[in-house]
Structure 1
Amino acid sequence: MDLKTAVFNAARDGKLRLMDKLLCSKSHSEVTALMSEKTNGATPLLMAARYGHLDVVAYLLEQCGAPIEEGGSVNFDGETIEGAPPLWAASAAGHLSVVKVLLEHGAVVNSTTLTNSTPLRAACFDGHLEIVKFLVEHKADIEVANRHGHTCLMISCYKGHKDIAQYLLENGADVNRKSVKGNTALHDCAESGSLEIMKMLLEYGAKMEKDGYGMTPLLSASVTGHTNIVEFLIEYKHTSKIDRVNALELLGATFVDKKRDLLGALKYWKKAMDMRYSDLANIIYKEEPLHLNMAYGYAKEVSSNEELENLIADPDEMRMQALLIRERILGPSHPDTSYYIRYRGAVYADSGNFKRCINLWKYALDMQQNNLDPLNHMTASSLLSFAELFSFMLQDRAKGLLGTSVSFDDLMSILSKSVLEIERALKQTPSSPDQIQLNKTLSIILHLICLLERVPCNADQDHFKKQSIYRFLKLYPRGKNGFSPLHLAVDKNTTCVGRYPVCTFPSLHVAAVLLECGADANARDVDKSCPLHIAALNSSPEIMKLILAAGGHFDTTNLHKQAPFDLLNEKEISKNLIHPINHTTLQCLSARTVVKHNINYKGQIPVKLEAFVLLHS
């Protein structure tokens, strides 16, 4: 074990004598350097603070000159916090004595992690009241919010720490402060079920505001199923009658889909129905829909107690009622609306009713693409779910289940929607789309293309498929490391797109259809590697032959001056399958000679020929 690791372990485990023994013979400069070294992303001081070793913390500060503000990585409850200063770690872990020592030695009380979380917020999160008081007494700013705009008061309310919330309010915390998404501390109480804290907030002047999705605290409580909050707020003097009705109906939908309690749902729906008709002179009618939704089985919301009573005989109809109610009250832009449509579809898929699942998922996907930003993680999740479902339906083990046949139209429609997602992203942010989500969506598209090769189609359908793939390629999308779709098609990492297997890559079939539809056989990634390089690294000689036949150049070099055959030579299995001399033309040799001797060819030869020479540079 090297010295750096030994010092780190001693700090983490609180072994002061061992640490002193390790460092006593080292020079001042060596000790100073070790204090800034990180193991697993953390300095010795950060680890000692995280685990509350007061004597080690004092030793590192006073004897070793450890940098008191050096942030690093610490783990809490399975989550890694990046850029956490020692004071933050000690505050989060509840080590008051360490917090005091760090502040005495000059730690900045409002220092933050990479997500802008302060030591005070960390103490509020885990309910360390004494540390909260000590930090505030030492000028900690109560109103510093994290990157999501969540304040110390908000997190105290969400975690149910009433004593901390009360202390913060007594010290001037803004009770009506809004987060980036527009929620307030009242919303946090509603989402966590903290009724006593909610009552306290109202005493301090909290207002019933709507968040960015138009959600009041009352609706937030209905969505999360906290009946204590709902029952309190529907009696609140400022709550309107229509708000009470909506909250009860939404709570019933939550009982159906989240709590799986159909009788409980009926109870709240009946209470809402009675409230609608409580004043015969001012009945609150439900709006008649312009059209009924095929995805919901053409279900219509019930509008009388008699219709409501009949629901108990048809559980499936009740589930459709829940989806209808949620969409009406929350609207299509709220994440829960599409989430529960997808959830209900998944339940149908589990029972083998794939057609109902596909119809619901398509409806949810349209909703997401119409309301969410391009490449939103929820949309990508929907696309991936389709790929996984289609893959399962095409397997032998799915035979005999209800509606297992995958139609060309179903698969093709999802491929088209996936391509639309790429098109939307590149149109909105052509220079800087979310690379992680872009790469994931590109990989999903390749899996869908792979699945399409296993579904029979006629000549017109085949033409439509290839026309769509051609349009996709003409978007010139680039994934990780600047990979083109053809790069991804010949890379084994493209296989791992989700939790369940869909298709295996490198894929000869996908590479073939991409090349047929116009993929550039000599496209370059950020390392100037072409698909042949990636195929060689993945030991795919058959795919390499395919790319070579489509115009790929075996002697194209990347930034590391490697040609595909250089990489192939390292693979014993492929040595005798492709021989470089069989794929090297006189043109290639001439171009390499021009490059080798640094001949100035620009402007001296046709532009197309310049591009050819560049392939060999």
Structure 2
Amino acid sequence: MHAELYRTRKRWYESAWPGAGFWRGANDTLPVTSYITYPANFDQPDGQSLTPLTMAAMSGNVKFVKTLLSHYDVDLERECNVIFDGMVVYGATALWVAAGMGHLPIVKMLVQAGAAINHNTKAQSSPLRAACYEGRLDIVEFLIHNGADVNATNLFNNNTLMIAAYKGHHLVVNTLLQNGSRANDQALCGATALHYAAESGHLDVVVTLLDHGATLKKNELGITPALQAAERLNEDVLEAFIQRPGLMSLEEQITALELMGATYANDKTKYDVNKAYSYLLRAMQLRYSNPRGVIRKKVQPTVPAYDNWFETENLPELYAIKLNHHSIHMESLAIRERILGRNNPELPQAIIYRGAVMADQGRFYQCQVLWNYAIDLRMRNNVSVDRDLLRFAQLFAQILRVETHNLTLDHVLPVLAKCQQEIENNKFKIKEAKPNTCPRLWQDQNNQNCITALYLIKIVTHLARRKNDQHIDEEHIQQLFLVVRKFIQNDTRLQDGQTLLHIAVNGVMPVDEFYTNEMCRFPCYATALVLVHCGASVVAVDAARNTPLHILVTKINTAQDRQAEMARILQLFVEAGAHLDAVNAAGQTAAMACKLPLLANRLHAHQNAHTSLKCLAARTIATNRLNFKGLIPTQLEAFIQMHSVHKVLP
């Protein structure tokens, strides 16, 4: 991949640079120094910005690097943006790139030419760290020999030993330790190199770290490397910890074994109920191994989501559930919560898995209880729940398809409220985003949550049409309207500016295909009616200044015949005060943009019947581009803008 990237960039340079002959080896045609030092403007589409020296270092072209160093006054410390392992690294020098790509000859040439060996990237990643990431022992040894700092850390206080341990580069880890790397240093999250090795299951690295004095420190969540290994089901690593003399107390061994068993009972990829029980039994036997010093469980209050399960506290109680898999599952969920704690981001995953299994078995109510609890845990810890909310919408659609009578508004409305809260949280994160955060990720999550909210509202309207199948009272209706009004009051929108009403009438909006596509089809009159009733604006515009009416008549799914539904929505919009002569950024009214002749005729008829003198005056001002800013009441400026293709308001 890197070779192809280099060849592509080489062609770009040959076609654009005055000194293209340089790349063909013509010594009589040499590019000026500025071209050697600074990246070209066209070298930006994928986020990279490279100098010729960085390009040569990336591709491993020793000849080019040697020529550049010997014939030109190149800036060895010039920082570039490069793609490394699929990520853009900002502020990488040629030495960092060569070390990360594993080109030892070029690393040597750059160091001998005077390149700063500890020149870090913007994220404080050193060339040594890049070499450790790739496991290049030869480069690691050379850099250390020439003064590289083995204990240098990045922005997260994560050092070179940690990244080598995480990647499982045993020889690199050993070299770092022999050259003064500190085995017990902790990252900002409290993790040590031993945590990373245990998590990834690198037994040889774990043993090496222990041989060099690594200890079982706790991270910020109170998790030791032994518990980390147990939670990731790395049995050989956990056994190495247990068998290490004096490393773990008996109670620590018991806790780790319990966590291992509890995780086996609820793991998506390695589920094994027999192993789960064997580890739980082994732990319980250790608790009672000394009759005079029984180590009793610190039992926590029961959790309703786990069927209010009381943990077993002795061998007879554990023997009693050996053949009852459901009891083992609930026992294990309770154990994981006791050991990991509710603040651990890994806790909900097993709960979600157990809920999914129950859904597959048709036990939808138990699934909902578990998933609601998992969402509560994640929201409590400020973890995104966009996938969890979508999963609920899929579940509700599945229930409606399979067992209509088992789904009520009492099930759906709390999830809709959580969706609204999540959108509000995301909006705050985007607004308060700092330079080193990921607002784009939050925006993607917001887009998904908006669509999920629409799914849920659609499902609510579906339930409302089945009043004979369930009890729907005034309280339910008020709860629904209260939540939907919050969506509208907070101006819930997609990244392109579409409101929920825009999406509800968008016939080509992609709909998730897991049951949801059978239940949630758009445009939907009932969904639009709920939104309009709760105050959604029929004249709101998206980034292209399309009103919901524009979207209705232009985003048409030709595979579905929904003209009758569209006609009802059109009538709804007209009655709600839609301005039929409002224009979008292309200067088109809804009638002009409409793709269906029958609907266009309806629009023209409504437009002729409902156009007011106020609209005519606004159109005249807009058409003649008369200056009105500051000359009329402020509330009228937006009205005139609605009729003008030229954006006047800020």
Range into which the TM-score falls when normalised by the shorter chain:
0.7 to 0.9
Are the structure 2 counterparts of residues 115 and 515 from structure 1 closer, same or farther at C-alpha, using a change threshold of 3 Å? Answer: farther
Residues 291-347 of structure 1, C-alpha deviations (whole Å, 9 max, x = no match): 4x4432343211121222232211222122111110111111112211100011112
CA-CA distance at 1:205 after TM superposition:
4.0
Of 229, 242, 256 in structure 1, the residue corresponding to residue 251 of structure 2 is 242
CA-CA distance at 1:447 after TM superposition:
1.4
CA-CA distance at 1:181 after TM superposition:
1.8
Residues 114-136 of structure 1, C-alpha deviations (whole Å, 9 max, x = no match): 65543322221221011112233
Of 187-196 and 591-600, more deviation after overlay is shown by 591-600
Q: Separation in 2 of the partners of 1:544 and 1:28?
A: 65
Q: Which amino acid aligns with 2:287?
A: R
Residue 330 of structure 2: aligned partner: 320
Residue 145 of structure 1: aligned partner: 153
Residue 486 of structure 1: aligned partner: 501
Residue 513 of structure 1: aligned partner: 530
Residues 43-72 of structure 1, C-alpha deviations (whole Å, 9 max, x = no match): 476555444333355456667988864634
Residues 471-493 of structure 1, C-alpha deviations (whole Å, 9 max, x = no match): 33223334313443323434567
Are the structure 2 counterparts of residues 356 and 552 from structure 1 closer, same or farther at C-alpha, using a change threshold of 3 Å? Answer: same
Matches within 5 A, 1:390-401: 390-395=396-401, 398=402
Residue 135 of structure 2: aligned partner: 127
Residues 373-427 of structure 1, C-alpha deviations (whole Å, 9 max, x = no match): 1xx33x22211111122223333xx46xxx9843222122211221232344557
Are the structure 2 counterparts of residues 27 and 521 from structure 1 closer, same or farther at C-alpha, using a change threshold of 3 Å? Answer: same
Q: Separation in 2 of the partners of 1:404 and 1:165?
A: 60
CA contact (8 A) 2:230 2:256 kept: yes
CA-CA distance at 1:535 after TM superposition:
4.1
Residue 60 of structure 2: aligned partner: 52
Of 326, 329, 333 in structure 1, the residue corresponding to residue 339 of structure 2 is 329
Q: Separation in 2 of the partners of 1:365 and 1:481?
A: 27
Of 604, 613, 617 in structure 1, the residue corresponding to residue 640 of structure 2 is 613
Residue 172 of structure 1: aligned partner: 180
Q: Separation in 2 of the partners of 1:114 and 1:486?
A: 43
Residue 550 of structure 1: aligned partner: 576
Of 450, 464, 476 in structure 1, the residue corresponding to residue 491 of structure 2 is 476
Residues 255-278 of structure 1, C-alpha deviations (whole Å, 9 max, x = no match): 323332333223322222122223
Of 441, 444, 452 in structure 1, the residue corresponding to residue 449 of structure 2 is 441
Residues 203-235 of structure 1, C-alpha deviations (whole Å, 9 max, x = no match): 544343211211111211111122233233335
Q: Separation in 2 of the partners of 1:537 and 1:61?
A: 59
CA-CA distance at 1:27 after TM superposition:
6.6
Residue 17 of structure 2: aligned partner: none
Of 592-601 and 149-158, more deviation after overlay is shown by 592-601
Q: Does 1:467 align with 2:494?
A: no
Residue 349 of structure 2: aligned partner: 339
Q: Separation in 2 of the partners of 1:70 and 1:130?
A: 24
Aligned to 2:284, what secondary structure does the other structure show? helix
Gaps of 5+ in 2: 1-5, 15-19, 434-438, 558-565
Aligned to 2:83, what secondary structure does the other structure show? strand
Aligned to 2:411, what secondary structure does the other structure show? helix
Aligned to 1:309, what secondary structure does the other structure show? helix
Aligned to 1:578, what secondary structure does the other structure show? helix
Residue 289 of structure 2: aligned partner: 278
Matches within 5 A, 1:593-604: 593-595=620-622, 596-600=624-628, 602=630, 604=632
Of 318-327 and 579-588, more deviation after overlay is shown by 579-588
Q: Separation in 1 of the partners of 2:75 and 2:392?
A: 51
Of 490-499 and 200-209, more deviation after overlay is shown by 490-499
Residue 410 of structure 2: aligned partner: 409
Residue 263 of structure 2: aligned partner: 254
Q: Separation in 2 of the partners of 1:35 and 1:440?
A: 37
Residues 456-501 of structure 1, C-alpha deviations (whole Å, 9 max, x = no match): 3435334432332123322333431344332343456753568775
CA contact (8 A) 1:537 1:567 kept: no
Residue 20 of structure 1: aligned partner: 24
Residues 160-189 of structure 1, C-alpha deviations (whole Å, 9 max, x = no match): 222211222233323332223221112112
Of 79, 88, 107 in structure 2, the residue corresponding to residue 99 of structure 1 is 107
Residue 232 of structure 2: aligned partner: 224
Q: Separation in 1 of the partners of 2:34 and 2:28?
A: 11
Are the structure 2 counterparts of residues 70 and 602 from structure 1 closer, same or farther at C-alpha, using a change threshold of 3 Å? Answer: same
Of 139-148 and 93-102, more deviation after overlay is shown by 139-148
CA contact (8 A) 1:555 1:565 kept: yes
Are the structure 2 counterparts of residues 612 and 81 from structure 1 closer, same or farther at C-alpha, using a change threshold of 3 Å? Answer: closer
Q: Which amino acid aligns with 1:331?
A: G
Q: Which amino acid aligns with 1:156?
A: A
Are the structure 2 counterparts of residues 161 and 4 from structure 1 closer, same or farther at C-alpha, using a change threshold of 3 Å? Answer: closer
Are the structure 2 counterparts of residues 427 and 390 from structure 1 closer, same or farther at C-alpha, using a change threshold of 3 Å? Answer: same
Residue 300 of structure 1: aligned partner: 310
CA-CA distance at 1:438 after TM superposition:
2.4
Residue 495 of structure 1: aligned partner: 510
Aligned to 1:74, what secondary structure does the other structure show? strand
Aligned to 2:321, what secondary structure does the other structure show? helix
Q: Which amino acid aligns with 2:548?
A: P
Residues 536-564 of structure 1, C-alpha deviations (whole Å, 9 max, x = no match): 55248655664344223234456x46344
Aligned to 1:132, what secondary structure does the other structure show? helix
Aligned to 1:179, what secondary structure does the other structure show? coil
Residues 49-103 of structure 1, C-alpha deviations (whole Å, 9 max, x = no match): 4443333554566679888646345363xx3444455544432332212333444
CA contact (8 A) 2:33 2:73 kept: no
Residue 351 of structure 1: aligned partner: 361
Residue 588 of structure 1: aligned partner: 615
Q: Does 1:7 align with 2:10?
A: yes
Of 185, 189, 208 in structure 1, the residue corresponding to residue 193 of structure 2 is 185
Aligned to 2:150, what secondary structure does the other structure show? coil
Q: Does 1:160 align with 2:168?
A: yes
Q: Separation in 2 of the partners of 1:504 and 1:6?
A: 46
CA contact (8 A) 2:553 2:595 kept: no
Are the structure 2 counterparts of residues 169 and 301 from structure 1 closer, same or farther at C-alpha, using a change threshold of 3 Å? Answer: same
Q: Which amino acid aligns with 2:144?
A: V
Matches within 5 A, 1:358-397: 358-369=368-379, 371-373=380-382, 376-377=383-384, 379-395=385-401
Gaps of 5+ in 1: none
CA contact (8 A) 2:22 2:31 kept: no
Q: Which amino acid aligns with 1:394?
A: L
Aligned to 1:453, what secondary structure does the other structure show? helix
Q: Which amino acid aligns with 1:531?
A: P
Residue 578 of structure 1: aligned partner: 603
Of 268, 275, 281 in structure 2, the residue corresponding to residue 264 of structure 1 is 275
CA-CA distance at 1:514 after TM superposition:
1.0
Cα RMSD between the aligned structures? 3.9
TM-score by length of 1: 0.83
Aligned length: 597
CA contact (8 A) 2:47 2:88 kept: no
CA contact (8 A) 1:50 1:74 kept: no
Are the structure 2 counterparts of residues 571 and 113 from structure 1 closer, same or farther at C-alpha, using a change threshold of 3 Å? Answer: farther
Aligned to 1:165, what secondary structure does the other structure show? helix
